[in-house]
């Protein structure tokens, strides 16, 4: 190297350093920031939930706690097949219900005898948790576990003695099965149950006090510091996104609670019948298109999605669920496969130095980010594509390691010689709830990522991003332009026929509020039979004898829970005098998931049906939105 070259190189290096020192320092973090584990977790986006236990065999969503372990016998269970199905669909992990509210432990726990050692499966030597954990490890697929705090089997539930049992269960699951990426503590707490034979109602008061979640969190951190803790009265890392429909609460979505970073997880079953597998559920599977909306309303708002796919009584996934999962998975993979903004040239209104300039938006590196100087909260960036492209989804990501900052943004496209707004900036106070704004939604918060599906595809080679409000200088790591795959590219899901429903034409009604009883048979989910008392009942006269095999019940659908029937009894008669009970039980989990419930009973002939609402939610009153009698 000549002296001149050496001097030039040294000068460039020095100037670079000076440049860096003057303007290229990273901004200080703003507000609460996520832990490394939370960052990693958010980047997983979506994973499977697997509800599989005694309820799989009883057609129930919530077992009472007195079910026999003898029923659990999944002759064809294949954890490997389940894990590879999830992986193939693009899921990033799975969480298994090691124990649901019925208290049955699907691993050979030392904490209670109500466990899998009493099941005929593998002659009492089976361990579902182990089989899933091993298959996951083999496929490098993160494994997590759900352990219901509410235990309707345990005699000690509601007293101090149960805590030893519960803590022991947590310890076993976090010690014997390798790394657990997430542990789930359910929110359903206390109520009636078997409780070792007491068959009574047990109220635990404030869950946080009873379970001592501060202690639980401490114990978990000691055993597995990398494990994400769901729930635990918000003492953990992640909280429930507030529905069991898969949408993340409201949008805008902030990951901030006071001084703490708290992320959101939206949960939903792929099948409308519930979290556990139910006979004949095939036709109730959600379509790939619907799952895409769920994805946009959860991951697309900055949360994670946990999608339940339940094994059947053989221990296999339902083919209808698998078809829809795979079709949605393919759709998602295609959506994310081509980013038309990748490597596009970016001219930003401002940046705090080269390391933070506009091109960081389109470099495909999730860690680098574009950031203006401190104090600038409304910068803009023009993105020039190498060639015109057609897209209809815009994705943005913030560098969340530095905190969540952006409250609203706008995107424009250069169309026919002018800037046209394609994502309107959100205004303060506006909210998208449920599935609102899935198409044509506004630009509010970003967080880990936001996906905005435009009302129609746009073709252009120039796009402009404007941050319209932020709490501190925005740090935007990625800007992408994507194309939603068309619905035709997805595999069709074979419909499986529902049980045959009797026509209610000409039927007569008596009993309480019998003038409203026809509303439970009118095919209109928005009208209902209701009566101010519980228990209550009405009588159906089908005017002639039918062979009945079961019924389905749709709880009230108006968003209210008061008077929602949660316990029922069905009696049949041929003469309206002598009655025989054919079905009796509980509709579990209606508060969180008020979906249609199906009950079968041994076929019986009858002309009269008496439906009893024996318990209901939230005070007195009984209601039924729809009742269908099956033959």
Site residues, ligand FUL (CB under 6 A): 61-62, 186-188, 267, 275, 589, 592
Closest approach of Cβ 352 to ligand FUL, in Å?
44
Q: CA-to-CA distance for 611 and 539, rounded, in angstroms?
A: 6
Closest approach of Cβ 305 to ligand FUL, in Å?
13
Nearer to ligand FUL, 231 or 441 (CB): 231
Distances (CA, A) of 173 to 184, 222, 373: 12, 13, 48
Nearer to ligand FUL, 186 or 321 (CB): 186
Closest approach of Cβ 184 to ligand FUL, in Å?
8
**Whose CB is nearest to ligand FUL?**
188
Nearer to ligand FUL, 75 or 279 (CB): 279
Nearer to ligand FUL, 274 or 426 (CB): 274
Q: CA-to-CA distance for 523 and 422, rounded, in angstroms?
A: 40
- Under DSSP, the state recorded for 420 is E
Nearer to ligand FUL, 244 or 392 (CB): 244
Nearer to ligand FUL, 267 or 293 (CB): 267
Closest approach of Cβ 279 to ligand FUL, in Å?
18
Closest approach of Cβ 267 to ligand FUL, in Å?
5
Q: CA-to-CA distance for 151 and 214, rounded, in angstroms?
A: 20
Cβ atoms of residues 362 and 342 within 8 Å: yes
Alpha carbons within 13 A on the beta-carbon side of 540: 30
Q: Which of 105, 132, 131 is nearest to 47 (CA)?
A: 132
Q: Residue 478 has which token pair? A: 């990625």
Closest approach of Cβ 52 to ligand FUL, in Å?
11
Q: What is the DSSP annotation of 211-254?
A: HTHHHHHHHHHHH-TT-EEE-TTTTSSEEE-S-SSS--SSBS--
Cα three-residue angle 594-276-70, rounded to 5 degrees: 135
CA dihedral 416, 419, 423, 427 (to 10 degrees): -150
Nearer to ligand FUL, 41 or 230 (CB): 230
Closest approach of Cβ 589 to ligand FUL, in Å?
4
Nearer to ligand FUL, 71 or 366 (CB): 71
Q: Residue 289 has which token pair? A: 């298109």
Q: In 95-243, where does DSSP find H-type helix? A: 128-138, 160-175, 207-211, 213-223
Nearer to ligand FUL, 163 or 592 (CB): 592
Nearer to ligand FUL, 32 or 187 (CB): 187
Please list, in sequence order, all residues whose beta carbon lies within 8 angstroms of the beta carbon of residue 560, skipping any fewer than 6 positions away: none
Nearer to ligand FUL, 131 or 186 (CB): 186
Number of other CB atoms surrounding residue 571 within 10 Å: 19
Cβ atoms of residues 479 and 454 within 8 Å: no
Cα three-residue angle 557-561-563, rounded to 5 degrees: 105
CA 358, 364, 368, 369 torsion-angle sign: positive
Nearer to ligand FUL, 246 or 372 (CB): 246
Distances (CA, A) of 588 to 265, 314, 497, 565, 592: 22, 23, 24, 10, 9
Nearer to ligand FUL, 95 or 174 (CB): 95
**Bridge partner list, 450:** 396
Nearer to ligand FUL, 60 or 301 (CB): 60
Closest approach of Cβ 275 to ligand FUL, in Å?
4
Q: Which of 425, 438, 368, 400 is nearest to 255 (CA)?
A: 400
Residue listed under structure tokens 């129930």: 60
Nearer to ligand FUL, 46 or 453 (CB): 46
Q: Which of 459, 368, 370 is nearest to 409 (CA)?
A: 370
**β 304-308/46-50 pair status:** parallel
Closest approach of Cβ 604 to ligand FUL, in Å?
30
- For the chain, the straight-line distance linking the first and the last C-alpha, in angstroms and rounded, comes to 92
Q: How far is CA 514 from the centre of its chain?
A: 39
Closest approach of Cβ 281 to ligand FUL, in Å?
15
Closest approach of Cβ 354 to ligand FUL, in Å?
47
Closest approach of Cβ 80 to ligand FUL, in Å?
24
What is the enclosing helix (H) or strand (E) of 3? Answer: helix 3-23
Q: What is the DSSP annotation of 344-413?
A: -EEEES--SSGGGSGGGGGSS-SS--B---TT----EEEEEEEEEEEEEEEEEEE-GGG---EEEEEEEE
Closest approach of Cβ 197 to ligand FUL, in Å?
23
Closest approach of Cβ 555 to ligand FUL, in Å?
15
Closest approach of Cβ 244 to ligand FUL, in Å?
6
Burial status of residue 606 (CB atoms within 10 A of its CB: 0-12, 13-18, 19 or more): buried
């Amino acid at each position: 190297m000549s002296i001149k070259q050496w001097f030039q190189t040294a000068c460039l290096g020095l100037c670079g350093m000076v440049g860096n020192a003057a303007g290229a320092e990273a901004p200080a973090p703003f507000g609460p920031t996520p832990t490394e584990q939370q960052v990693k977790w958010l980047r997983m986006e979506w994973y499977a939930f697997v509800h599989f236990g005694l309820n799989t065999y009883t057609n129930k969503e919530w077992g009472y706690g007195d079910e026999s372990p003898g029923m659990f016998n999944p002759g064809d269970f294949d954890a490997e097949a389940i894990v590879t199905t999830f992986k193939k669909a693009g899921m990033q992990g799975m969480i298994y219900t090691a124990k649901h509210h019925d208290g049955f432990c699907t691993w050979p726990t030392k904490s209670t005898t109500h466990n899998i050692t009493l099941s005929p499966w593998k002659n009492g030597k089976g361990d579902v948790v182990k089989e899933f954990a091993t298959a996951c490890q083999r496929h490098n697929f993160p494994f997590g576990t759900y352990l219901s705090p509410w235990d309707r089997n345990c005699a000690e539930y509601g007293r101090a003695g149960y805590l030893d049992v519960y803590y022991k269960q947590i310890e076993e699951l976090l010690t014997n099965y390798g790394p657990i990426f997430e542990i789930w503590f359910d929110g359903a707490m206390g109520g009636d149950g078997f409780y070792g034979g007491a068959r009574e109602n047990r109220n635990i008061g404030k869950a946080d006090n009873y379970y001592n979640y501060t202690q639980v969190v401490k114990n978990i951190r000691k055993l597995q510091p990398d494990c994400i803790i769901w729930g635990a009265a918000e003492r953990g890392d992640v909280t429930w996104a507030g529905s069991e429909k898969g949408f993340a609460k409201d949008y805008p979505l902030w990951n901030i609670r006071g001084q703490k970073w708290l992320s959101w997880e939206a949960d939903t079953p792929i099948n409308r019948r519930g979290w556990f597998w139910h006979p004949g559920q095939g036709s109730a599977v959600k379509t790939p298109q619907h799952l895409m909306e769920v994805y946009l309303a959860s991951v697309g708002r900055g949360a994670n999605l946990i999608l339940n796919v339940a094994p059947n009584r053989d221990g296999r996934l339902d083919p209808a669920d698998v078809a829809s999962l795979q079709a949605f998975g393919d759709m998602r993979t295609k959506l994310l496969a081509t980013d038309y903004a990748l490597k596009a040239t970016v001219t930003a209104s401002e940046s705090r130095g080269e390391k933070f300039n506009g091109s960081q938006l389109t470099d495909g590196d999730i860690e680098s980010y574009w950031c203006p100087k401190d104090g600038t909260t409304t910068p803009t960036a023009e993105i020039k594509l190498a060639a015109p492209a057609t897209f209809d989804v815009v994705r943005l990501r913030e560098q969340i390691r530095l905190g969540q900052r952006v409250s609203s943004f706008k995107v424009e496209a250069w169309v026919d010689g002018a800037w046209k707004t394609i994502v309107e900036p959100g205004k303060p106070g506006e909210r998208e709830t449920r599935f609102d704004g899935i198409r044509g939604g506004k630009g509010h918060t970003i967080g880990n990522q936001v996906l905005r599906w435009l009302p129609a595809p746009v073709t252009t080679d120039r796009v402009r991003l404007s941050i319209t409000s932020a709490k501190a200088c925005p740090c935007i790591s990625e800007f992408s332009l994507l194309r939603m795959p068309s619905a035709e590219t997805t595999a069709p899901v074979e419909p499986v026929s529902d049980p045959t429903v009797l026509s209610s034409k000409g039927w007569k009604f008596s009993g309480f509020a019998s003038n409203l009883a026809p509303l439970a048979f009118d095919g209109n989910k928005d009208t209902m039979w209701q009566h101010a008392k519980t228990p209550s009942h009405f009588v159906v006269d089908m005017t002639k004898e039918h062979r009945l095999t079961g019924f389905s019940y749709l709880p009230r659908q108006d968003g209210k829970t008061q008077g929602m029937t949660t316990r029922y009894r069905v009696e049949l008669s041929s003469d309206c005098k002598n009655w025989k009970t054919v079905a009796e039980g509980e509709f579990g989990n209606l508060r969180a998931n008020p979906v249609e419930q199906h009950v079968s009973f041994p076929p019986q002939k009858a002309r009269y049906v008496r439906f009893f609402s024996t318990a209901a939610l939230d005070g007195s009153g009984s209601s039924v939105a729809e009742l269908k009698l099956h033959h």
